[in-house]
Amino acid sequence: MTTARLPLSARNPQAYGFAVTLLGALFFFPDALVVRLIDTDTMTIAVWRGIAAAVTTFAGLAIFGRASLPHWRDLLRWPSLCMIFLQGIGSVFFLASLGQTSAANALLILATAPFIAALMSWAILRERIDTPTWSAILAVFAGVGIIGAGSLGGGHLSGDLFALANAVVIAAYYVVIRMAPSGNLMPSIALGYLLTSVIAYPFAPMAPLDLQQIALICISGGVILAGGCALLQIGPRYLPAAEVSMITMLEIIAGPVLVWLFIGENPGLKTLIGGSVILVAITAHTLLKLAQSQRGQPA
Selected residue with higher pLDDT from 283 and 221: 221
Contact 51, 193 (CB under 8 A): yes
**What is the per-residue DSSP string for 210-253?**
-HHHHHHHIIIIIIIIHHHHHHHHHGGGGS-HHHHHHHHHHHHH
| pTM for the whole structure | 0.84
pLDDT > 90 fraction of the chain, expressed in percent and rounded:
33
* Rounded-to-integer distance, Cα 291 and Cα 68, Å: 37
* Rounded-to-integer distance, Cα 33 and Cα 31, Å: 5
- Residue range 110-134, pLDDT digits in tens: 888 888 888 888 888 787 888 888 8
Pick left, alpha or beta for residue 109 (phi over 0 → left; psi -120 to 50 → alpha; otherwise beta): alpha
Task: Count the alpha carbons within 13 Å of 60 in the hemisphere toward its beta carbon.
Answer: 17
Quickly list H helices, the chain.
Answer: 8-11, 13-28, 31-38, 42-64, 78-100, 103-110, 113-120, 131-152, 157-179, 186-200, 211-217, 226-234, 241-263, 269-294
What is the SS3 assignment for 141? Answer: helix
What is the SS3 assignment for 39? Answer: coil
- Residue range 4-47, pLDDT digits in tens: 566 666 667 777 878 888 898 899 989 999 999 999 999 999 99
Per-residue model confidence (pLDDT) at position 80: 87
- Residue range 140-162, pLDDT digits in tens: 888 888 888 877 756 678 998 99
* Rounded-to-integer distance, Cα 196 and Cα 88, Å: 4
Question: In the structure, what pLDDT confidence band is assigned to residue 64 with cuts at 50, 70 and 90?
Answer: confident
Contact 46, 92 (CB under 8 A): yes
Q: How far is CA 140 from CA 56, 100, 190, 217, 234, in A?
A: 35, 22, 31, 32, 27
Q: Is 160 exposed, middle or buried (0-12, 13-18, 19+ CB in 10 A)?
A: buried
Contacts for 165 with CB less than 8 Å, ≥ 6 apart: 93
Instruction: Provide the residue type at 163 as one letter.
Output: A
* Rounded-to-integer distance, Cα 63 and Cα 86, Å: 26
